[in-house]
C-alpha cells in the first residue's frame, strides 16, 4: 500500500505525499484490528451468536434455591450465566443467589456491572435491595425500593422474599476496622466509587462509618457513593450527619460551606421523582442482551472560506474496531460537494485511525477517493459518548482531481455492548 501511495503521488508534491503517508502509518499503528486473522474475526463473530436462552435450566436453579439447597443452586446457575453472560435478568438473579450464600462482595460486584441497566430492567433494583437486606443494611435496601415505586418484582421470588430474608439474613457481627486499617479501607472505598462500583463502595463505606462513627470524612465519601448510585435521600442523610460531626471549628468554615451547598442540592434531588433520561436509557442498553453494537458521529468545521459537515454510522466488529458508512457535505469557493463512503476505524486508547473509500459528487461530476483518517477521541467515563478530533486525507484515483486534507471536530454516541 505504501508503494502504491508513493507512485500515486509522485507528481503531486513531496510534502503532501509525505503527510498522507504519515497519516497512514499512524492509522495502522492504532491497533491490530486491521491485521486480525480471519480465524480471530470468525471467533469474535461466533461469540455473539453462541448466546443461548437460559430458560431451560432456570427453573431447576430457582427450585434448588427456594428449597434450601443453596450451594447446589449456585452450581446450577453458574453454567447458565456462563452461556448467557449478557442476560441482565439472569445476572442479577445470580447475584441474589450469591448473597443468599453469604457471598455479598461477589453479589454486589455483579449488580454494579449491570447497575446502569436498572431503568430497563426493574429486577436489578429489586435484587440489589434484597442483597442489602440480607447484609443487614436496611436503610439502603429501603432507599432502593423507594426510588422505584410501583416496580414489578420477579414473580418467582417476590412473595417468598421475606421468608428467604428471615432464613438467610447475615447473623455475623460487622467487622470492626482498626485505626491502622482505616486508611487502606478508605482508599479502597474511594477507588471503588471512582471506578463506578458504587454499590460495593456503599457497602465498604457503611462498614467504615460503623467502625468510626465520630469521624466526619467517611460520611462525606459515603454520601458521594450513594449520590453516584442516585440514592439521593440516604446520601443527604449521611452527609448531614457528617456536617454535624464537623462541629463549629472556624478552620473548617469553607469546607462546611461547600458541603452545606451540596446537602441542599441532594435534599432537592431527593424530593423529586427519579428522572429517566435518554442518556440513562442509552447507558442501560449497553448491557442489554443481544443489543446491537453501534455508533453514530456528527461533526465538521465551519470557516469563512470552507465548510464541512459530516456524519458516520458504524457497527463494531470488535471491541475497538468498527466499520462505518460516511456521509458528508463540503463547500469551498462556492462549490458544494456531497460525499458518501465506507471506512474502517480502529481505536487504541485515545488515538483513532481509519481508512476506506469515498465517492464525491459535485454537480454533474463525480470522483473516487482513498481516505485516510486519524485523530483523537476522548470518551466519557461511562463510555456512551466521546468528543472527537479528526484529520482526513482524501487521495483521488483520477489525476484530474486534487488531493485534499481536512479537519473536523464532533461528537460520537455509542449504543450497545461492544464485543
Q: Is the pLDDT of residue 253 over 80?
A: yes
Lowest mean pLDDT among 179-183, 213-217, 269-273, 320-324: 269-273
- Which residues partner with 414 through β-bridges? 295
Per-residue pLDDT of 131-169, as tens digits, reads 999 999 999 999 998 887 777 889 999 999 999 999 999
Residues 318-335 have a mean pLDDT of 84
Question: Would you place residue 298 in the very low, low, confident or very high pLDDT band (cuts 50, 70, 90)?
Answer: very high
Q: Which fold has domain 55-281?
A: 1.25.40
Residue 144: all three cell numbers together: 432502593
Supply the pLDDT for residue 8.
46
How many other β-carbons are positioned within 10 Å of the β-carbon of residue 3? 7
Separation of alpha carbons 318 and 308, rounded Å: 29
Which residues of the chain are in CATH 2.40.160.20 domains?
2-32+290-415
Instruction: Give the mean pLDDT of the chain.
Output: 81
Highest mean pLDDT of the ranges 183-192, 265-274, 323-332: 183-192
Q: In terms of C-beta distances under 8 Å and separation of at least 24 residues, what long-range contacts does 35-39 make, across chains too? A: 36/318, 36/321
Q: Is the pLDDT of residue 279 over 80?
A: no
Highest mean pLDDT of the ranges 187-201, 249-263, 333-347, 396-410: 187-201
Q: Which residue has the higher pLDDT, 225 or 304?
A: 225
Mind giving me the DSSP string for 146-169? HHSTT----HHHHTTHHHHHHHHS
Radius of gyration of the chain from its Cα atoms, rounded to whole angstroms: 27
Separation of alpha carbons 166 and 367, rounded Å: 74
Supply the pLDDT for residue 273.
67
Residue 232: all three cell numbers together: 439521593
Task: State phi, psi for 109 to the nearest 5 degrees.
Answer: -60, -45
Supply the pLDDT for residue 1.
42
Separation of alpha carbons 405 and 330, rounded Å: 12
Supply the pLDDT for residue 197.
94
Residue 50: which H helix or E strand, with range? none
Correct CATH for 2-32+290-415 of 2.40.160.20, 2.60.40.3950, 2.130.10.10, 2.170.120.12: 2.40.160.20
Supply the pLDDT for residue 149.
73
Supply the pLDDT for residue 129.
95
Question: Would you place residue 225 in the very low, low, confident or very high pLDDT band (cuts 50, 70, 90)?
Answer: very high
Half-sphere exposure of 193 (CA within 13 A, CB side): 23
Residues 30-46 have a mean pLDDT of 40
Look at residue 47 and give its three-state secondary structure.
helix
Query: What are the b/e assignments for 215-250, b being 16+ CB within 10 Å?
Result: ebebbbbbbbbbbbbbbbbbbbbbbbebbeebeeee
Which residues of the chain are in CATH 1.25.40.10 domains?
55-281
Separation of alpha carbons 16 and 22, rounded Å: 10
Residue 96: all three cell numbers together: 441474589
Amino acid at each position: 500500500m505504501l508503494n502504491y501511495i508513493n507512485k500515486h503521488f509522485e507528481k503531486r508534491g513531496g510534502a503532501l505525499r509525505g503527510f498522507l503517508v504519515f497519516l497512514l502509518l499512524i492509522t495502522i499503528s492504532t491497533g491490530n484490528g486491521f491485521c486480525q486473522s480471519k480465524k480471530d474475526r470468525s471467533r469474535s463473530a461466533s461469540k455473539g451468536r453462541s448466546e443461548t436462552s437460559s430458560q431451560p435450566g432456570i427453573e431447576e436453579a430457582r427450585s434448588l434455591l427456594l428449597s434450601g439447597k443453596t450451594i447446589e443452586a449456585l452450581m446450577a446457575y453458574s453454567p447458565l450465566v456462563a452461556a448467557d453472560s449478557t442476560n441482565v435478568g439472569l445476572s442479577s438473579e445470580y447475584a441474589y443467589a450469591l448473597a443468599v450464600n453469604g457471598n455479598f462482595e461477589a453479589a454486589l460486584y455483579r449488580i454494579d456491572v449491570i447497575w446502569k441497566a436498572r431503568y430497563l430492567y426493574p429486577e436489578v433494583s429489586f435484587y440489589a435491595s434484597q442483597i442489602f437486606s440480607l447484609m443487614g443494611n436496611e436503610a439502603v435496601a429501603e432507599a432502593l425500593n423507594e426510588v422505584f415505586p410501583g416496580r414489578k418484582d420477579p414473580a418467582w421470588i417476590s412473595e417468598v422474599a421475606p421468608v428467604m430474608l428471615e432464613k438467610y439474613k447475615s447473623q455475623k457481627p460487622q467487622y470492626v476496622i482498626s485505626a491502622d486499617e482505616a486508611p487502606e479501607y478508605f482508599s479502597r472505598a474511594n477507588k471503588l466509587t471512582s471506578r463506578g462500583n458504587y454499590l460495593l463502595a456503599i457497602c465498604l463505606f457503611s462498614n467504615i462509618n460503623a467502625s468510626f462513627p465520630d469521624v466526619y470524612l467517611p460520611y462525606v465519601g459515603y454520601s458521594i457513593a450513594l449520590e453516584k448510585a442516585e440514592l439521593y435521600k440516604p446520601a443527604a442523610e449521611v452527609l448531614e450527619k457528617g456536617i454535624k460531626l464537623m462541629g463549629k471549628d472556624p478552620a473548617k468554615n469553607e469546607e462546611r460551606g461547600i458541603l452545606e451547598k451540596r446537602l441542599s442540592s441532594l435534599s432537592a434531588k431527593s424530593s423529586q421523582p427519579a428522572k429517566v433520561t435518554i442518556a440513562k436509557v442509552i447507558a442501560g442498553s449497553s448491557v442489554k442482551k443481544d443489543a446491537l453494537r453501534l455508533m453514530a458521529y456528527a461533526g465538521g468545521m465551519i470557516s469563512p472560506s470552507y465548510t464541512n459537515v459530516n456524519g458516520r454510522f458504524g457497527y463494531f466488529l470488535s471491541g475497538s474496531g468498527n466499520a462505518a458508512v460516511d456521509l458528508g457535505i463540503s463547500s469551498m469557493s462556492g462549490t458544494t460537494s456531497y460525499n458518501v463512503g465506507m471506512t474502517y476505524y480502529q481505536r487504541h486508547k485515545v488515538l483513532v485511525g481509519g481508512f476506506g473509500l469515498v465517492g464525491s459528487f459535485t454537480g454533474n461530476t463525480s470522483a473516487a477517493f482513498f481516505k485516510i483518517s486519524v485523530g483523537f477521541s476522548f470518551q466519557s467515563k461511562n463510555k456512551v459518548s466521546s468528543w472527537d478530533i479528526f484529520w482526513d486525507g482524501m487521495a483521488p484515483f483520477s489525476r484530474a482531481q486534487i488531493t485534499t486534507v481536512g479537519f473536523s471536530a464532533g461528537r460520537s454516541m455509542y449504543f450497545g455492548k461492544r464485543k
